[in-house]
A and B are shown apart, each in its own frame.
Chain A
Amino acid sequence: MKRTFSLFDGASLFITALVLLFLTASLCTLAAGGLPFLIDALRSQEVRFAIRLSLVTSTLSTLLCFLTGIPCAYALARCRMPLRRLCRLILELPLSLPCLVAGLCLLMMFASGPGRLLRDFGLRVIFEPAGIVMAQWMVNIPFVIRLVRTELEALDGRLEFIAGMLGASRWQRFSTVTLPLCRNALIVTAILTWARAVGEFGATLMLVGVTRMKTETLPASIYLNLSTGDNGMAMASALILLILSGAALLFSARFRRRTASRMEGAAAL
């Protein structure tokens, strides 16, 4: 069959070339500026602190997102609860909220009366590392709910129904049918959530500020080093952040391929 070249193909190729050019230029600049300082950065106590804090907070916030997000997504996708559409709207509303605004909302909330009450009970978040986890959770929870809900809605609901008729309780249906069938998609969601958390800055800045060696995550380290004119260290930190994000992206692509082949297998049934 003769291949035709449409206007859409041309536009798509042109935009891809532009994006590629931009990405290559940015990455080359970053690599050229950051590589000479990479070893120094990795030896620096401050950057190592930032890497450790970023890894710990993003892992904790991802776990928290999953613990809270999966039950919400499952309820939205499967349960016939009242006000389901309104709940969905409210839970996914922060997706359209700029991160800075989300952080500002958290700051105002924790600085107000109820927030002070929580602080008295030991939940200290303003200018504290725990606030980083809170900010990352706030930014990522609607993302997790949306992705997991979409995946659950795409699953054949009859499988759970049949499992129920075979005597499985709701938890058994979830753990033996639903969860294994969307396992790879959940892993991809976890990796993407983690990568977003590692790079989160706006909400974190508003809630915990940027204090050297206290609330200094990798993005905060870039910001601090740029502010003090240490461009080399800033670029090295950016390079480390880029490597982490790139690794996460590659890892998630691997699982996404597995999910796609599993779905093809299931579709053949």
Chain B
Amino acid sequence: MTALEFEHFCLSRGSMNIRDVSLALEEREIFALLGPTGAGKTLLLESAAGFYAPEQGTVRLYGTPVQDIPLEERNIGFVYQDYALFPHMTVEDNIAYGLRVRRVPRTKQNALTRELAGLLGIRHVLKDYPQTLSGGEQQRTALARALILKPRLLLLDEPFSALDESAKNKLYGEVAALPERFGCAVFFVTHNIREAQRLALRIGVMEKGRLTGIRPAGAALTETEEDA
């Protein structure tokens, strides 16, 4: 089944214009969107979550226009490039937020939070505030917060850009295992071609608001795409 589908999607925001983007993302697929800064990748990712309504075309989540699904029922996990953690909550409260607002019993909240924190290696910072964490720990916290509700779709905006090489290598494996472990499709944005090839099954290339092509990850990219 198609997890996410853009059909002739158009949107303008400030100087950014996304024109006629059509792409489909299958269940449990990892799809990378590659492109230089200012290509419109983040805007497209936010539109996939329904942050912006399309000016033309549609965005469908499991067959339903995303705008028709109430925000709290979309079941999408979103990790921003700067993580956008709740600064007034501890790591534990950040991760458990989705469970808390859904009134999951406290004991179950604690158990699930600790289990996921253990899986992502951030159990030791559960009582800390996001401001005190390293980039990698913040990234894992944001990932844990997005995964705790077992989303159907995970959207990642340049998730590795603030990390050093060793942290990146460790997290590549964790992200690659997400569809299997959590049953979700992953749509991630990057400007690093090696990152895209290592994680994704298919790579979409975006330039100046247009999707210029979709290739299998193993296929050779053109010189322009390489530059992206």
Residues of A within 8 A of B (CB): 156, 158-159, 161-169, 172, 176-177, 180-181, 262, 265-266, 268-269
Contact = CB atoms under 8 A, between A and B. Distances in A.
Contact of B131 (A156, A167, A269): A269
Contacts of B72: 164-169
Contacts of B145: 162, 166
Contacts of A172: 101
Nearest to B138: A269
B133 to A, nearest CB: 9
B49 A166 contact: no
Interface residues of B, number: 27
Interface string B66-106: 00000111101110101111111000000001100110000
Interface in B101-115: 101-102
B51 interface: yes
Contacts of A269: 82-83, 85, 87, 130-131, 138
B149 interface: yes
Contacts of B149: 166-167
A156 B87 CA distance: 11
B131 A166 contact: no
A163 B101 contact: yes
B131 A165 contact: no
14 contacts: A161-B51, A161-B78, A162-B78, A162-B84, A162-B145, A165-B72, A165-B74, A168-B72, A168-B101, A176-B97, A265-B131, A266-B87, A269-B83, A269-B130
A166 to B, nearest CB: 4
B87 A167 contact: no
B84 A166 contact: no
A166 B73 CA distance: 8
